[in-house]
Amino acid sequence: MRKIEFTVSPEEAGDRLDAFLARHVPESSRTFLQKLIREGNVLIDGGKAAAPRTPLKAGMRLTVGMPDFSAPAPPAAEPFAFPILYEDEVMLVIDKPAGVVVHPAVGNPSGTVLNALLSRAPELAADLASNSRPGIVHRLDKDTSGCLVTAKTPDAQFRLGRLFADRKVSKTYLALVRGVPARRSGEIVTLIGRHPVNRQKMAVVERNGREAVTFYETVASGSAEGVPFSLLKVRIATGRTHQIRVHMNHLGHPVLGDQLYGGAGSWGAGAERQMLHAWRLELPHPVTGAPCVFVSPLPEDFRKFLDFLPPELLSGLN
């Protein structure tokens, strides 16, 4: 029997244990995973999990004893070619391009940030036996660009993970959304949970969800190809899966190019992917505690929209 480990991210806090494992071990059925839990083969922070429906908290370490018959090959180190925003002995902050997956999963076995990180920080390779995602402390969706902080040592991964779990990291995004919000700024507070029909999606729900808090501010509005749109600064006080995309659609202004949540209503204006950019990241250094601020330059596909916006309103974004 082999062991695999996971750390619950802030976005996954509140998920049921069996649902979490079904998402992270997609080659196994939920029934099989529930059986493993009941037989005591799943540990939470070193103790046996009580039941499949156990709610998870950010920072929990899960250890799963899996039969050896389907052991996947560990991720291989691949050339590192990402723009670097900051690097020291323990931490690496990259400017993740859109279209890049953070860690290997079904359908994306290579070409990920993790593969590249293994070549940049070889010490992490020794952690692969007990950690399926060495160095990864938070995620961005495949088509979201911008600031991504990673750890170069197992200790730094633990320290950074705690900063995220304790909400000591401030994340500000830039989002291009369809239409113009009625209120220039606002706060969106809802429950977010798994979509009742499409299990690949999250949704605003009335019960069985986790509180999600999003603040937005309209920077400027314009029109491209006859489609009205707005540039928003978005700050999230919680980190639920797909939170900004779900909340913008709930507001009636889906992120441009977001097919999953906005559907046909998100297209137009020349968007070729979901126009969401992790612009600014603030956190204490995981070792020294010194305040760190990282800013990702706007990618080219974002910049082309700025030509349709009043330039005097865009100061401070570049």
Catalytic residue IDs: 141
Greatest pairwise CA separation for the chain in angstroms:
63
How does DSSP classify residue 183? S
Q: In 59-173, which ranges are continuous DSSP H helix?
A: 113-120, 154-165
Q: Helix 17-24 crosses helix 30-38 at what angle (to 10 degrees)? A: 130
Comparing CA positions, the residue from 195, 180, 281, 186 lying closest to residue 246 is 195
Contacts of 303 (CB under 8 A, 6+ apart): none
Coil, strand, or helix at residue 171? Answer: strand
Measured over the CA atoms of residue 106, residue 142, residue 97 and residue 153, the dihedral's sign is negative
Measured over the CA atoms of residue 102, residue 108, residue 114 and residue 117, the dihedral's sign is negative
How does DSSP classify residue 105? B
Coil, strand, or helix at residue 13? Answer: coil
99 is written with which tokens? 């279209």
Coil, strand, or helix at residue 108? Answer: strand
Beta strands in the chain (DSSP E): 2-7, 42-44, 47-48, 61-66, 84-87, 91-96, 145-151, 170-178, 185-194, 202-205, 210-224, 227-236, 276-284, 291-295
Number of residues in the chain: 318
- The CA–CA distances, whole Å, from 64 to 119, 132, 244 equal 27, 11, 31
